[in-house]
Each structure stands twice: as C-alpha cells, then as structure tokens.
Amino acid sequence: MNHALSEMPIGIVGAGTMGLGIVALALRAGHPVWLYDTRAPALEQAGAVVEASLDRWVRRGELEPVEREACCQRLQLAYDLEALAPCGLVIEAIVENLSIKQALFTQLEALVAPDAILASNTSSISITALAAALEHPDRVVGMHFFNPATVLALVEVVRGEATAPQVIERVADLARAWGKEPVVCRSTPGFIVNRVARPFYAEALLALQEGAAVPATLDAAIRDAGGFRMGPLELMDLIGHDTNFAVTRSVYDAFFQDPRYRPSLIQQALVDAGWLGRKSGRGFYGYGADAKKPQVPLAKACPPPARIVCQGDFPSAETLCRLAAAADIEIDTHPGTGQLSLDGVLLRPTLGQTATALATETASTPLVLFDTWTDLERATLVVLTHADGCTEEQVAPAIGFFQALGKAVVVIDDLPGMLVTRTLCMLANEAAEAVCNGIASAEDVDRAMCLGVNYPIGPLAWADAFGNAQVVTVLDNLARAYPDGRYRASSLLRRKALTDTPWYVH
C-alpha cells in the first residue's frame, strides 16, 4: 500500500482538541480522513468542530468555499476501529498513558497494511517504549503537533530507537505538505520543546518562592524586558496548572529526579487547591467577572543623570551609550571592569551574583544591577535591583537613566541572576544539553523553540549574542548560590565558552 502522500488515507484516533485539529489539517491537504473515538457523543460533535476550523480558513481567504465542501465530504466518522484498516497513516491523539497507547497500537498493527505508519501525538511518552510492544516497532514514530494544531507551525517528528529512517522521512515530508515545519529529534523525555522550556516556568516559580517580586512584576519582566509574548505565570494560568505540573513531574521523574527539573511546591499547592488558572477562574491571577487587572508596581519618575561614564565593555554597553546620546545625556568612555558610573552610583549588568555580595567591592559607592533582555531597542521595561542598605535616593539616578531612554522601570529584591538573565541562561543551558545529548542540532533546537512556543529568539542564538562565556559565568555564579546541581553548566556550553566558538558561524 504505497500511497502517494497527497492521496494517503489518514486515520485519526481521538476526537479531542488536538485530534480534531489534526483532522482539519489532513482534510485541508486533500486526504480522505477516518476519525475514530470510543466516545460516540464526541464523534457526533466532531463534524461541527472541524467545520468551524474550515470556516475560519474560508473567512481568511485561505480556503475556497468549494474546497471546504470537498473537505467535509472526505471526513468519515468511524464507530469501530476496523474502519481504519485502509489508512496508510494512523495518528493517535488520546490520553497520555503508555499502556493504553500500546494497547491501541497493538490493535492497529493487526488491522492496517504492513507498510502503514503508526504515529503518536504524545508530548511526553517515549516512542521507544510505545513501540516496544509491537511486532514491527520500526513503523512507529512520534508526530507531535502543538496546540492549536491548525495555527502553530511546528511538528516534532520523534525517532524511537527502532524507527525506520524511511518512516521519519515520509512523516517529515507529510508535515511539510500540510504546511508545517518538521523538526526531527530523538525520543527522550520532553523531546525538544517540553524539555528545553522547563526553565521558563521553573525560574519564575523559584523567584516567586524567594519573594523576589509579585507575580505581575515577574511576568512583566519576562514579557516586556525579555521579549516573550507572555510571562511564565500567566502562561501557566493559560495552559492549566494541572497540565503544566504533570509535564514537569513527568520530565523530572524521567530524568531520575535531576534537580534541573524539580517541580515547584507553589504550583503543587495551586493544583491541590483546584486553582488551575483560566479554566477554573483562578490561578496566579483571578479570571472572574469582578477580577481586577494585575498592576505592576513601576518605579516613580526620577530625574536623569546629567553625565555618565562608561567604564570598559559589557553586554549592551554600546547600545546603552547610543541610546543615552540620543537622550542628550553626556557620555565619557574610560577603560574599566564593565560598568556605568552616574551621579554617584555604579550600574552593572547582573552576571548571577547578588548586588549585596558585589557591593563589598565598591566600598562606599552604591551599586545597582540591571537585568538583561533579548532586544534592548524594543524592550519597554528594565528590571533593576540593588544592594541591601541602598536608599531610594541612591538608586534614583539609575532609575532616571533608564526612564530617560524611554523605558519603564521595576525594582525587585536582590535575587541572584535576577529574572530575565537567569531564565535566558538556563534556557540556553538546556538547549546546549539537548544538542550535547544528540537530541537535535542547534539549528533545529532553536527553530523548535521559536515555532513551537513563540520564543522571540532561539536560546542558542541568544547565547551567541550575549556571549557563551557570559552564560557560563552566570551559571557558575548561580551554582555557588544554589549548590544543588540545578545550575551546572552543560559540558558542551562550557567548551564553546572556553574556545570562544559560537553556535552559529555568520
């Protein structure tokens, strides 16, 4: 049964949100589709949901009305599994349970042709383990779509230990034919996206646990300074804490309780309370009719310094000086250790140490640290912290400096690595470890994070811009502050830093 890609009958098992999104994609690409679900009511409602997706494409001019009708005619509702026998590819999108998926694939293996492909949309279960129960594990592959499947471009094509190369190639070609961007990776816990993304949530939860900032400030920092579309806490509210916590626990257990993936007691408490986020009406924020919009406590307006001295080089030094010149702030440049001096206060980028620890080096001169960003030009917010004992008057010149550059300012507690810097460095470290472990190439890891979860820049591209040596410095300083192994630098990242070798050669 060697069907041409465009003519291959597709079977979908599972009439949930993901399954129906995949159905719509396959229909739009011209395939006859059989949809099966053990729940008859779900099947009966499926047609209306799929038609709604097709209608959206028609309204946007992406699908002709006549094509919409043809799509509807190609959809067959299957009330027994045997109806999927003609399919050249069957994709399961059912409950995340290994034994249930294995039982399904065992049944399918006996029904479909010998060259038919069995694919799983699992986000966390090992493809190798899923295939191990079959007589022909070489036909099993991961085809992990991201929600909503009709919108997000990424498909992780996951290779189990036994998956045949031609199966990987055929599924990747099919994803492209459906207008998707396939990224091939090995089957390991979390694949690419759900593994590399863990620090995005974990660092925010740890910062919250340590009282560095209120939730609204923390989200604003990652969103408005870091350049991400959503802050981590509001994103967890959107995903659902039960779902997000379950994925974190799954990855943590799969990596034998590696501290890098340790779940948060704060999130467990939300799950225990039933405060699951938007779907329950309450999470980190309230979502009821009377819920108030969270307010970010911005620093009050302060006068800008009349003159700054740039001492040495540091990340974004050139951009800061250019923006200062455009704001009519006088600039002098001198050799030094990498800081700005302005009206009696020193201003440095955080490199993973606390301002209080560094203040011993600056004697009587107040020290303020600033957080990093993915794009200083576009950032609308700057995050500052200061050494214990600094007064508002002493910090004011630093606040006024960034306000003069057109940035809002928030001041947080003196947390090692602050908020954006520690998050970006940990994302880069996890991406480096995935490359080191042979999960995927640097290019594919970065592409997956941008396409699958809308990161503003790939973690490794950001590490090149920030400096791999700087990333390792931040991680080493964090490791001294938290000596539990959580912040150990990837051996590959450390080699890149030592040899001054970028991830990308431009």
Nearest Cα to 181, choosing from 220, 151, 210, 154? 154
* Residue 123 designated active-site: yes
- Residue among 156, 234, 430, 433 flagged as catalytic: 156
Rounded to whole angstroms, what are the CA distances from 290 to 103, 281, 285, 287?
47, 11, 12, 8
Catalytic residue among 31, 144, 241, 386: 144
Confirm whether 386 is a catalytic residue.
Answer: no
194 is catalytic: yes
- Phi, psi torsion values for 98, nearest 5 degrees: -60, -50
Question: Which among 53, 120, 121, 123 is annotated as catalytic?
Answer: 123
Paired residues of 346 in beta bridges: 341, 367
| CA 213/CA 234 separation, integer angstroms | 14
Q: Which of 120, 194, 341, 429 is labelled catalytic? A: 194
- How far is it, in rounded angstroms, from Cα 46 to Cα 69? 16
120 SS3 class = strand
Kindly give the confidence (pLDDT) of every residue in the chain, 506 residues in length, as a single tens digit, with 9 standing for 90 and above: 455 666 799 999 999 999 999 999 999 999 999 999 999 899 989 989 999 999 999 999 999 999 999 999 999 999 999 999 999 999 999 998 999 999 999 999 999 999 999 999 998 899 999 999 999 999 999 999 998 999 999 999 999 999 999 999 999 999 999 999 999 999 999 999 999 999 999 999 999 999 999 999 999 999 999 999 999 999 999 999 999 999 999 999 999 999 999 999 999 999 999 999 999 999 999 998 888 899 999 999 999 998 899 999 988 899 999 999 999 999 999 898 899 999 889 999 999 999 999 988 766 789 999 999 999 999 999 999 999 888 999 999 999 999 999 999 999 999 999 999 999 999 999 999 999 999 999 999 999 999 999 999 999 999 999 999 999 999 999 999 999 999 999 999 999 999 999 999 75
Q: For the chain, which domains are there?
A: 5-187 (3.40.50.720), 307-411 (3.30.750.190)
Both tokens of 206, joined, read 């740890």
State whether residue 76 is helix, strand or coil. strand
Return all residues near 414 (Cβ < 8 A) that are at least 6 apart: 354, 355, 356, 385, 386, 387, 388
Q: Which amino acid is at 488?
A: R
Active site residue 361: no
